[in-house]
Every structure is written in structure tokens, then in C-alpha cells.
Structure 1
């Protein structure tokens, strides 16, 4: 495994480390729980994991992309389209998703935000109340089960002492406004963090206005010295968010703010309403044993108006219509026992548990027209009950076999069952009911060598798997009745080598080289009458290098940088469809073609000045390499580098802390493509990013 650019990149890292020995500012060492399920320093974990604490004051802080820019390996694109969720992929896993998030496991306070079939969303992530975001990459992600190409987990902050009230408002270009109110504190055995955030935008592009209300509450009760109960509740309301759809290359060049005419013709839009609650019980049994029990339940309703032409719906009896109506109920639980003691006289920790998740979805489809009126709900075209559940068992252990060596390993057995009951059967639309089951056992193993107090080296290996989602199973490529029983889960073999460096106080760096070989990767097979079907591709590969660096250059002055180079390719040839209405795969894709949606490289760098009070300033650069948009590799979104500038002043006096801030993004006012829609059947692959934008705001805290 020899990804390109490794030698010059490693040299650059070492030069940067040499310059970092002048660091003067020490930071509190973060802890993470996503890799080991217990609080540990990421420096002592044989895996690539990063934690982002609450960001500096002075950002809109509405999208996950604002939090994870400095983390290598993860792509989180703000699509400027709140009718579609953010695009999130890790080391190329999840890049094929055209809506929602697949291939990456998502959690809020340990509660799944990914459904059992592997599809999830981050729209209900409440960043205003968050303490930190953790991102796990590489083989150890497989310990979270189906579709674990990586793990993103957000944690709500606990209550503070003394109590605080927080208020914030920020606004800027394109009608962006964010306002929030937050209360957090401690009252005897109870601590709390309650937040409400309102966001609205007129949108950079035409027909892209949206409004989003997000509420989040975390309430903890210390029952006694050994037991704690935590309630996490969140809500989300997104009414009629306009969907501008993508643009062709010619449309983008002509006017990046425009929309395809069908977006306004059919008034494409989406509404989401979600409520979720989770209860977590932690019990310290004795000095060696502890127990954690988690249960959750949620409801999510989605109504979406698509731009499927009337003629297509009328001429295709099996078409599902242009209006999607989904009612979801979901829930589950996780029970985990942890034992901490010694084995052969050395520290040893073992965690073992079982997890169950269930989703029941009532999926209905309707025509998006009534007579000559478009963009309204018409006759019913689809009615089915879809259920998917998983039942997993897992165990993982960490053993410090010597002062300088630690071993970490684990295994997870997953079983995922799908069942669809078709309640709409008509001429030309046969019974599509059916069931299918997938299972896999995914082992992982890692070793960490503490070569020196300032250098830790690690290696790990593991297997992973990803089932098709219900959306991909829904239709067969041969146009027969029932689910796509012929689809197989994708299975991967993953390996990683890495270095974690702390050469001086306040200076950190990381370097990781990785490879993931997958069998039975999913790709588009056909696109006909509004139905997309899928097929398995024999082999694919993702390999690359990640680097990160952070140092204090002087008092209150810090430099942060990260870089990722990624080669993601199909390793075997296959046939695919490239146009809407393609009834069977007919166009060859050559071995070695890039997997779409995956940028060749990406980088981030920032220079930040400021302390707890006084003047604040920052200059940052965000760069993205060229990104292929279709399986053929015939089109791609060009790469770019964008610069941002921020500044402000923090007043901290008495009970009040007031932060005033301003920010300018895309200083040069460049027109770039911010995100892509992979394999769009109409060649509308491109979602433009805004030009130069401005933001001003104030955040206040009262203690």
C-alpha cells in the first residue's frame, strides 16, 4: 500500500513539528468514548479518532460542516439545500448517497441517528447545546455494526455550576438568521441543558428558502453515588423547505443561482417533523463492574414533492408518483456491561453488550398533479409497510500488556432483517411484498506502541459490512415483483497504520495511511420511470493518507492544518445506465474509474488569535479537490480553495460574557460547486456554493 505524495507529506509534517517546539499555550487534553465506549485520551487509542469541542464564538453554527472542517478524512458538505440533508462521507464511504446519509453511523449522546438499514440524517443535531463532536475513522468503526464506514457522534454538554442563560443571534447574506436560547445548570442531584434554536434562510439560489426549528434537552439525575439516569429529548420541524434541485454544467456556467425549470413548475419541497426521546441508566456496581442500559423511541414524518414529469407517471403503471409520504416509528435499546481490572497483572478492560434497533415505515406515494394543476397531491400510487430491525451482539477489550504496548480488539455479530408488505396492487403494479435477511461477523484488532512520550505508533485491521438500504432494495433491476433479493451486502477489509505526535506542550500532529478493499460495492443498475435500481460491483478500493497538525505559535495565537489524499476506484469493470429512462445497464465502466462523490484531496488551514476575552481574529482556508460525479467518470466538479476572515471582541465582566463577531466567507467571491448529486439521471449533478458572504452576530452568557 503506497498512496502517492506520502513522502513529501511526511517531510512537511516533520518540518512543521520542528517549528512547533516554541508552543507556549497548553490545552486541556480531550477525551473520547466513541472508539472504546469508555472515556480515554485519543492519544492512547490505536485508531484514527478526533474530537472537536465547542467551536470558538463567531460562527453561524447550524450545519455539521462548520464543526468538522479541520478533521482529515471526513467530507461534510453544506448543500445550500435544506430540503436535502448534508452530505457526509468518511474515507469515501457514504459518498454514493444522493439523499440522506449512508455508509456512516450517526449518534447523538449514544442514541442512533442511523436506522437499522444504515440510512440516517444529521438535521436534528443541535449544535448550539453540544459539548463536542467525535469522528471515528477506519477499522474500529465496524464495532458499531451495519454501514460503519465511519462514526460521527455528537454529545450534549452537561449542566454548569453556576447556572447559565445563553442568548444568541446572528444574521447575514442570503437571508440567513440564527437565533437561540439555552439554559444549563445544576440543582441538587439534577443537572440540565435545554436549548431551542431557530434558523431561516432565503437561500443563495432561487427556490431554496427554508426554516428550521430545533429543540434539545438533556436532563441528568444523580440517584446516588453509584447510579445516574439521563433523559435526552430532541425535536425538529422543517416546514416546506424549497428544493432547488441540481444544475447541469451548462446551467451552472450560465447562472449558478438559477434552478431547473421543473423545480418551480412542480414547486419541489420537503417537510420534516421529528420527535425523539432516549433514557440512559448508568450503574457503578463495584470497583470493577459497571452497567449501562439505553432505550429510545422516535417518530419522523417526511412529505416531499418531486419533479417527476406527468407523462412518466401516467405511462408507467408501476410508477410511485411524484409525492413521497413517509411516517416512521423507530426505537431500540442497548445493554452493556463493562469490567475493569487486571489480567496477568496488567490493566485490562472488557465491554460486552447487545443492541436492538427497529424501524417501521408507512411509505405512500401520490401523483404530483390533479388535472392540469402541478405540485399538489393527487391519486395514490404506492402504499406499503416497510419494517427493518437488527439484533447485534458485541464485545471489545483493551489490554495494556506492557508499559509501552496496548492491545485493543473486538468483534460484533449483526443480523439485519427487512420485511415489506405491499398494500397497493393494481394492473401493471404487482405485489412487491417480501423479506430478506443479512448477517455478518466483523472482527477488529489494533496495537499501540508508545515509542516515546511524544510519539505513539499504531496499526489496526478489521472487517466491515454494509447492507442495502430500503431505498435500494425497493425495486428489482429486472422489473419483477418483490424486493431486490439478489443484492448482497458490501463487505470490506480495512487496514491502517498511524502516528500520533506530541513533541511539545500545545503541539499535536497525526499521520495515518489506510486501505479499504470492498467486495460487492453497490452502484446504479437502471433508471426507469422514476425508479432507480442497484447492482453489486465485484471489487472496489479506497486508500490514502491523512495528516493533521496544531500548534501554538505565540500567546493566544494558534495554527491548525489538515490534509487528506484519497484514491477511491472501482477495481472491476461493469455496465451501468447513464440516462433517465434507461431500462437496462448498457454503458461500460472501466476498471480503475474513480468512485463518484469522492474528492481526490482536501485540506484545511487556519490561523486563530484570541483568548477568553478581548480581541479575536481568524484567517482560514478550505480546499477541495476535483470530484467525479458519475460512475463513468466523464464529468467532475472542479476543485477549489476558499478563504474566510473573522474578527470580534469578547467582553467578560461580572455575570455577563458578551461576544460580538463578524465573518466574511469566500473572500475572493469565487463561483464554485459546493456539492454534487451522484449519478443524477438528468445530468443535473451540480449544487453551486455561494459567492462572497457576510455574517454578524452576538452571543451572550449570563451566569
Structure 2
């Protein structure tokens, strides 16, 4: 299959664009303000990112500064290496996230990456996560942890993304926002934060409406977030985190074939229209974090959370396919209750007259999911709920224990060690049992011990070298465990967890007080990766296929080039390949994996080169201007590499004017143009799509106008 061909060849390689933007930056930054001290939580240590032997990026969550509405997490990840965030122009399937190639095979939601909001997990015990309820209006920063130390977060931790809300401000402040732009997009938002005695608060709510770039992609989603902090005194702190998300309706245009993209990239697949494919989601979640410092050297932290998530999704499975008694229908309706606890103790002291910090923790999570399936037709009417075809409980639980130790072993040397033990159990209870559809009940348990170690050398105050190593694992989720490849009932007990070894060497250099350059070389070797074993009558089965290797380099530069000039730039080269040959499942339908895949074939969904850059100018008042560049290399969409999306580069420009209205009030008016060259490109791919609809086109030239009133 030939890839879709852009109608304008305006591509620019990131490898060329980033060095041009970086030339001379260190010298120009000498007079700029120093980099701010940032307290991060990604490694559970009270250590600045610069002093950690790990690849950790911390970015300010302020999409409005770039004229962006704050709908997608990708809006605040410009300048972060290693992570690839793709807006699919399809809110029925959520955003695509991958870190160093982990998570790229997910066809919906987020897999292979651990997600957190204010320390509360947004990833279920089976490894499936979502970022739809991430509220950027209340956010202060986003932390992205890559490489070996990610494994300290357990199952499916190929990387860690954490969003942290800002605490309440000493002076109460409210921000009202409105954005409108191309494709009938509108967003309304409000955020209020402040203090009232011992309480600090940050409460935000928003509604996003869009007609969509493609046909049949209309969306109406609403979200609310609250962070309430209490200070009882005596070194104690209590934080309550509340999240609500209601996506009333998100139409699903489905992916397109290469021929459909060439004919009209804005079309929806005809099956999407016939079956009115769509998804509605409602989620509520609460988390409570209690921290107590009884002594200067000790700190205790306990977290408990609970949530509910309800989904109803209408798929395009043909009526004839559902005649199979084993078929579970074209309407998916899971209702999930989930929750968990985490408790840890931190101790700071000295060993051999050298400071150390020790963390010991214990936690557990669970999910109780009632999964129902229905036919997506009634008589001749399509896209409506029909007969019940699936009724089961898909439950999962994990128990984990972890320890970390950070020690300044010598004036120029530091050591960071970690160890984690995880046990994950899946249990399915099937209530839809007929003579032609046997009982699928069953259970399976996985366990792993994952160590990690890192060493950092400090030859100068502004320079750090480090090396690190870790071992990780990723269990199959219910999407893979649900059906056995031999056709017998029960979970796919023969599937093994993917186990990985991570290596990293890096350097961090503060070229000036206000500019930091980071570079890392990495490698991850994984065995027992999963691949499709069969795809027949709506049931997909999986099997372990052997080894893979992901290796490459990351570069990032972040800081002030000069007064009022700021740059954030990142480039990633990633070589991700299958280490052994295997037989892949191709065709529709596919009863048996029979297509040979040679060793050395690239992993699908993983471009070899990608990066982003933002150059901004301006201050607190008056004019602000910005330029954003993002670029991605060619990406294969299936294991065989026969489906391929061409690489692209996108340029965006934005401008804003901020004026003071008196008594602390300010008004910001902004305008933004994206894809300035109006390039035709594939924004994301659906890896190994069983119908050959691999491609999700991105929008052409588009615009956005916004206004923010702060008082």
C-alpha cells in the first residue's frame, strides 16, 4: 500500500531546524533572568531535576500564553523530548501518547505510560489510562519522566506523565476565558483560586464544543477540577482533589484508507455514517492526600482515591459479523468503579557524613468493571442498541511495594537506587453463557520485581553527567486477555508480560543562569512483545512474538535567550525495531498469523525523528508573539510496514496583547494560526487496524481567537 501523498511538499526535518534555532543561544542568555527553582514530584524525592540521574522534563502548563484553548495535553508538551503527543481530531478515541516508542501500539486511550493528576492515578491496574479529564486551566506544570526510573511506577511504566494543579494564590483571582476558531470550535472556561484562612483553593470548569475538521466528528465535552488544600498546622497538610468529566457525545469518523485520504481527507468512512459511530463518557473521581512531618528528618504521606467511569460506544461492526454466537456485539458499555491507596515514609539523614534521602512505600489499586455488549441494530435500524450479547465482570487489582535511596556518596558523586515489587491479578466472571457461547470466566496473576540504579557525576556547578539502568514489565490488559487464540473459553492464560531492560546515559548543562541543555542516549530491550494472532468476527486475539529494541538520542534546550525572549526546543531520534522475525496477522478477516515479518523491521506507530520548538517574545503586559514548529518523520502503520504515513512539519504563529484594567485586572486578546503552509498530512495512525483504515488526517490551515479576563 502506498502512503498518502501530501499536496504540498513543505516538510522540514527537525534535525536541521533545531540546531539552527539553538545557534548562539548560550551567549545571548547571559543577561537573562535565572532559571526558577522547580519542586517536582515525579521521582518521589525532594531533589531538583538538575541533580537527578534521570531524564525528567518539567513544563509550565499555560496553553493560553500561546493562544491555545487548553483542550489537549499536547498543547503544553512543546519542547519536551522523547514524548510524542498526537491530537487525533477524534474525541471518541482520546489523544495518542507514546514515550520513546512505548505506548505507540495503543489504538485508543493510553497504554504503556503511567498517568497521574495531583498524585492520583489516571491509569487503571490493567495498564489502560486516559487524559480526557486532565484540566489545563487549573494546572501549574506537567512532569514527564522517561527512561529507567519510570519503572518505579510499576506495570506499563514505559514513561510517566504527571499533571499538577497550582495551589491557591494569596490574593484571590478569577480568570474567565473564551476561545473560538476553525471547524466551529468553541471553548468557555473559568478558573478561580485563592485562600480563605487555612484553606487554599483552585477550582476550574470548562466546556468544549466543535463541529470537527472531518465529517461526523462533532463533540461536546465538559470538565471540572478542584484542588482544595488545608493547613491544620504542626507540619501537616491535607489536599482534596476532585475531578468531573462529561462527554455527552463524541462522533467517531473512524480511520481512512490511503485511497480515501487521497480522495478527500475530511470525509468519514461510510461505515461511520451508517452505524452513527459515537461515544459518550461520564467520569467522577476524588482523591485525598495527607502529608505530615512529625520531625524535620521524617515525612509521612498517605493517598486514597475512588472513581467511577461510564462509557457507551457504538462501533461499526457489520450486522452479518454479529451472527456469530461468539460475537459480543457492536455496542460497548463498560461501567468501571476503581480506587486505591498509597502510603510512604521519607527519611532524610546522613551516612558517612554524607546526606541521603530514603523513601519506603506500599500501595494497591483495584478496578471493578461491569462490561456489557449489545448488538448495534434493531431490525433494519442501524446505530441503535439491540440485544444483549455480552455480560461480564472484568476485575483487576495490584499490590506493590517500593523503596528508593538517594545518597551524596562524595562531593561530586551521587547514587540513586530503587526497587519495586508488583503483583497484578485479573479475574473475569462471565454471566452471558449460552449453549453456543461457553463460560469465559477465569483468572490469571502476574508478578515482577523491578530494580533501578543511577549514578551522577558533577565536574562543575553547571554540569552533570549520569548513567542509569532499570528493568520494567507490562502485563497484557483486558483488551489482549479477553479471548484465547485457540478458541476455548476463558482468559488468554498463555500470554506473558513484556519484560524490558532500560539503559540511559545523559548530560545536563546550564549554559547560563537562564538556559539549560539536556542530552540523553537510551536503549530499551524488550522480550515477549504482543502482536495480533487472529482478527475474526470482531474478536481479536494476541500472542507474544519475541524481542524488540528501542534506542536513540534526545536533545532539549529550554530557557531565556535574552530578556523577553524564551526558547523551548526538543529533538528525538528513535530507532525502534523488531529483534526477531515472526508471523503477523494481516488481511480482513485474519484467522491465522501467516505473513512473515523480518528481524529489523521498524515498529509501527514510531517515527524515526520527531521534535518541536517554540520561540516566544514578550512580557507580562503589552504585545506577545510566538512561533511554534513541530515535525515528525515517516511512520509505518502495520507490522509489515506496508502502510506508511509521510513525515511532515507544521508551523504556527500567535500574537496577543495584554492590557491592565486597574486594580489588578488584566485582559488578554489573542490570535493564532496553525499549519500556516496549509500542508496536507496524516496527524496520527491506527496501528494494525483490522479494516485497513490506518490513517487519521490532520487539519489544514486553521485559526483561533481567544480572550482572557483576569480579576
Establish whether TM, by shorter chain, passes 0.5.
yes
Residue number among 51, 56, 63 corresponding to 1:49 in the alignment: 56
- Supply the distance in 1 between the matched residues of 2:557 and 2:24 (Cα, whole angstroms): 8
Residue aligned with 1:252, SS? helix
Residue number among 489, 492, 498 corresponding to 2:497 in the alignment: 489
Check if 1:333 corresponds to 2:341.
Answer: yes
Confirm or deny: 8 A CA contact 1:317 1:427 kept in the other structure: no
Return the offset for 1:401: 1.1
Check if 1:412 corresponds to 2:405.
Answer: no
Superimposed CA distance per residue, residues 471-496 of structure 1 (whole angstroms, 9 cap, x where no aligned partner): 11001111111100000000000000
Partner of 1:471: 479
Check if 1:642 corresponds to 2:654.
Answer: no
Return the offset for 1:25: 3.1
Partner of 2:68: 59
Partner of 1:154: 163
Confirm or deny: 8 A CA contact 2:86 2:97 kept in the other structure: yes
Superimposed CA distance per residue, residues 328-386 of structure 1 (whole angstroms, 9 cap, x where no aligned partner): 00001001011011111111110101010000000011100010000000011110011
Confirm or deny: 8 A CA contact 1:25 1:556 kept in the other structure: no
- Supply the distance in 2 between the matched residues of 1:347 and 1:7 (Cα, whole angstroms): 41
Partner of 2:365: 357
Q: 1:213 to 1:160 in 2, by over 3 A?
A: same
- Supply the distance in 1 between the matched residues of 2:199 and 2:566 (Cα, whole angstroms): 37
Residue aligned with 1:65, SS? helix
Partner of 1:165: 174
- Supply the distance in 1 between the matched residues of 2:358 and 2:259 (Cα, whole angstroms): 57
Check if 1:374 corresponds to 2:392.
Answer: no
Partner of 1:530: 538
Return the offset for 1:15: 5.5
- Supply the distance in 2 between the matched residues of 1:123 and 1:166 (Cα, whole angstroms): 22
Confirm or deny: 8 A CA contact 2:574 2:608 kept in the other structure: yes
- Supply the distance in 2 between the matched residues of 1:7 and 1:470 (Cα, whole angstroms): 39
Matches within 5 A, 1:621-636: 621-636=629-644
Return the offset for 1:71: 0.2
Confirm or deny: 8 A CA contact 2:314 2:383 kept in the other structure: yes
- Supply the distance in 1 between the matched residues of 2:491 and 2:507 (Cα, whole angstroms): 45
Check if 1:98 corresponds to 2:111.
Answer: no
Return the offset for 1:22: 4.1
Residue aligned with 1:128, SS? coil
Return the offset for 1:16: 4.9
Partner of 1:76: 85
- Supply the distance in 2 between the matched residues of 1:17 and 1:410 (Cα, whole angstroms): 37
Residue number among 635, 646, 670 corresponding to 1:661 in the alignment: 670
Return the offset for 1:18: 5.0
Q: 1:613 to 1:18 in 2, by over 3 A?
A: closer
Confirm or deny: 8 A CA contact 1:23 1:552 kept in the other structure: no
Residue number among 247, 254, 269 corresponding to 1:245 in the alignment: 254
Check if 1:273 corresponds to 2:282.
Answer: yes
Superimposed CA distance per residue, residues 106-156 of structure 1 (whole angstroms, 9 cap, x where no aligned partner): 001111100001111000001110011100000000000000000000011
Superimposed CA distance per residue, residues 151-185 of structure 1 (whole angstroms, 9 cap, x where no aligned partner): 00001111001111111011100111111111111
- Supply the distance in 2 between the matched residues of 1:214 and 1:94 (Cα, whole angstroms): 25
- Supply the distance in 1 between the matched residues of 2:59 and 2:100 (Cα, whole angstroms): 18
Return the offset for 1:305: 0.2
Residue number among 45, 50, 63 corresponding to 1:38 in the alignment: 45
Matches within 5 A, 1:95-134: 95-134=104-143
Return the offset for 1:551: 4.2
Structure 1 stretch displaced more, 22-31 or 234-243: 22-31
Partner of 2:4: none
- Supply the distance in 1 between the matched residues of 2:117 and 2:214 (Cα, whole angstroms): 31
Residue aligned with 1:29, SS? coil
- Supply the distance in 2 between the matched residues of 1:599 and 1:370 (Cα, whole angstroms): 43
Return the offset for 1:60: 1.1
Confirm or deny: 8 A CA contact 1:248 1:684 kept in the other structure: yes
Structure 1 stretch displaced more, 640-649 or 401-410: 401-410
Superimposed CA distance per residue, residues 274-325 of structure 1 (whole angstroms, 9 cap, x where no aligned partner): 00001111111101111101000000000000000000001x1100000001
Residue number among 333, 355, 371 corresponding to 1:347 in the alignment: 355
Check if 1:595 corresponds to 2:603.
Answer: yes
Confirm or deny: 8 A CA contact 2:205 2:223 kept in the other structure: yes
- Supply the distance in 1 between the matched residues of 2:429 and 2:168 (Cα, whole angstroms): 46
Check if 1:448 corresponds to 2:456.
Answer: yes
Runs of at least 4 residues off by over 3 Å: 5-23
Confirm or deny: 8 A CA contact 1:20 1:507 kept in the other structure: no
- Supply the distance in 1 between the matched residues of 2:520 and 2:677 (Cα, whole angstroms): 33
- Supply the distance in 2 between the matched residues of 1:502 and 1:24 (Cα, whole angstroms): 13
Return the offset for 1:14: 8.9
- Supply the distance in 1 between the matched residues of 2:691 and 2:646 (Cα, whole angstroms): 20
Return the offset for 1:13: 10
Residue aligned with 2:347, SS? strand
Confirm or deny: 8 A CA contact 1:138 1:149 kept in the other structure: yes
Unpaired runs of 5+ residues, structure 2, are 1-12
Partner of 2:618: 610
Q: 1:61 to 1:379 in 2, by over 3 A?
A: same
Confirm or deny: 8 A CA contact 1:20 1:504 kept in the other structure: no
- How many residues are paired up? 696
- Supply the distance in 2 between the matched residues of 1:9 and 1:637 (Cα, whole angstroms): 21
**Superposition RMSD in Å:** 1.7
Residue aligned with 2:152, SS? helix
- Supply the distance in 2 between the matched residues of 1:516 and 1:134 (Cα, whole angstroms): 21
Superimposed CA distance per residue, residues 408-428 of structure 1 (whole angstroms, 9 cap, x where no aligned partner): 110000000000000001132
Answer 1 or 2: higher relative contact order, Cα 8 Å, separation at least 6.
2
Q: 1:433 to 1:587 in 2, by over 3 A?
A: same
Return the offset for 1:501: 0.7
Residue aligned with 1:207, SS? coil
Matches within 5 A, 1:511-530: 511-530=519-538
Confirm or deny: 8 A CA contact 1:6 1:545 kept in the other structure: no
- Supply the distance in 1 between the matched residues of 2:24 and 2:299 (Cα, whole angstroms): 43
Return the offset for 1:31: 2.5
Residue aligned with 2:238, SS? strand
Confirm or deny: 8 A CA contact 2:30 2:514 kept in the other structure: no
- Supply the distance in 1 between the matched residues of 2:22 and 2:454 (Cα, whole angstroms): 25
Q: 1:520 to 1:28 in 2, by over 3 A?
A: same
Q: 1:434 to 1:700 in 2, by over 3 A?
A: same
Q: 1:128 to 1:421 in 2, by over 3 A?
A: same
Matches within 5 A, 1:527-606: 527-606=535-614
Superimposed CA distance per residue, residues 580-609 of structure 1 (whole angstroms, 9 cap, x where no aligned partner): 221111111111111111111112122210
Q: 1:573 to 1:688 in 2, by over 3 A?
A: same
TM-score in terms of structure 1 length: 0.97
- Supply the distance in 1 between the matched residues of 2:19 and 2:479 (Cα, whole angstroms): 45
TM-score in terms of structure 2 length: 0.96
